[in-house]
Amino acid sequence: MKFVVRPLHIISVGGYIVEVDFPYRNIIVVNPTQEPIKIDIPVFTTDWIEEHRKLGLEIIPIEDEDSFLSTFRKAKAKLDKIKAES
């Protein structure tokens, strides 16, 4: 299945991680480009991260000890700065 990340948007794909042994509890996906980018969901392996970084997306894995909300807010602030400059 595919999902489209709109230009200059941020999403979380934690609900689409389907592997029990996956090392991250959530993944933040940031599209800093001016183009929509399709991503594959659900997430099965860690190879997914590198494959989608090659598309121009910023991929931020969230581990158990990380604060999702804090990390999301930092990524959103960075994206807002990019939006203001464009």
Residue 7: left if φ>0, alpha if ψ -120 to 50, beta else—which one? Answer: beta
Report the half-sphere exposure of 84 (CA within 13 A, side-chain side): 6
Q: What is the pLDDT of residue 86?
A: 81
Q: Over the chain (86 residues), what is each successive 10-residue block's mean pLDDT?
A: 96 89 94 97 93 97 96 98 92
Domain ranges of the chain: 2-85
Q: What is the pLDDT of residue 72?
A: 98
Q: What is the pLDDT of residue 29?
A: 98
